């Protein structure tokens, strides 16, 4: 499969490298085709790796991962060209975190309570099928669920299109070891408000436990 990854930070690079290890072709997208981090990533990840602009990655990918900084997401999507996402499954990993006052972060007020980054991504890409996923775990756990409790912990997803959510479940199970029965579908894209809202709590737990390698498990 050809996969586009928007974002050259730690999350985007880890996601992209893990997908290449599974045999996929991955293009890492950034604001410029000559981005130094993206170029270095391509060099170190072999012939199935490439990099280009946000628009290049959006055109390239059959499935798109959005691994962008919350504040820069809207501008990046506009740069990528919303028409380039037509009918594609878009996996949104963004969180609207504000680190301007240091740790712990707060949520950006325009993207919490009555709105979310997930909803904003769907608004910016009206012809795409946006699924919120992976935003409540650290990057190294995103790509291998078995690193915590043998994969017995929950991942939350939400989105408006049932077929897109099923495809995302398949992608996560086949490539990142997420057990389908542990992937909890919360509903439509509005529920991104809830998954994004727990991320500051996740940061607090990380600080208390002194490790990011943990997750939540729903017990009934």
The CATH number linked to 70 is 3.40.50.720
pLDDT-derived band of residue 103, with 50, 70 and 90 as boundaries? confident
Distance CA 184, CA 182 (A): 6
Report the pLDDT value the prediction gives residue 174, as an integer from 0 to 100.
98
Answer whether residue 220 is part of any domain: no
144 pLDDT band, cuts 50/70/90, is very high
In a domain, 149, yes or no: yes
3-state secondary structure of 161: coil
Counted domains in the chain: 1
Q: Output the CA torsion sign for 185, 190, 192, 195.
A: negative
The per-residue pLDDT for range 23-65, each reduced to its tens digit, is: 999 999 999 999 999 999 999 999 999 999 999 999 999 999 9
Q: pLDDT tens for residues 173-217? A: 999 999 999 999 999 999 999 999 999 999 999 999 999 999 999
| Among the listed residues 158, 128, 4, the one whose alpha carbon sits nearest the alpha carbon of residue 66 | 4
In a domain, 219, yes or no: no
For residue 216, being part of any structural domain is answered with: no
> pTM score, two decimals?
0.95
Please indicate, yes or no, if residue 215 is contained in any of the structural domains: no
Confidence (pLDDT) at 101: 84
Residue 193's domain comprises 2-209
């Amino acid at each position: 499969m050809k996969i586009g990854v928007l974002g050259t930070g730690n999350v985007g690079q880890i996601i992209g490298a893990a997908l290449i290890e599974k045999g996929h072709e991955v293009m890492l997208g950034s604001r410029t085709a000559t981005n130094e981090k993206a170029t270095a990533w391509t060099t170190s990840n072999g012939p199935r790796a490439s990099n280009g602009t946000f628009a290049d990655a959006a055109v390239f990918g059959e499935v798109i991962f959005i691994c962008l900084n919350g504040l820069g997401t809207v501008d990046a999507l506009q740069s990528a060209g919303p028409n380039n996402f037509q009918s594609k499954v878009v996996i949104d990993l963004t969180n609207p975190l504000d680190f301007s006052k240091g740790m712990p972060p707060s949520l950006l007020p325009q993207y919490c309570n009555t709105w979310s980054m997930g909803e904003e991504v769907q608004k910016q890409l009206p012809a795409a099928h946006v699924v919120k996923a992976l935003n409540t775990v650290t990057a190294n756990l995103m790509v291998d669920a078995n690193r915590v409790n043998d994969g017995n912990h929950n991942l939350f997803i939400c989105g408006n299109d049932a077929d897109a959510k099923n495809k995302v479940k398949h992608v996560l199970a086949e490539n990142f070891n997420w057990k389908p029965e542990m992937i909890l579908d919360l509903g439509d894209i509005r529920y991104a408000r809830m998954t994004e809202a727990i991320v500051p709590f996740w940061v607090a737990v990380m600080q208390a436990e002194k490790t990011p390698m943990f997750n939540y498990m729903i017990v009934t």
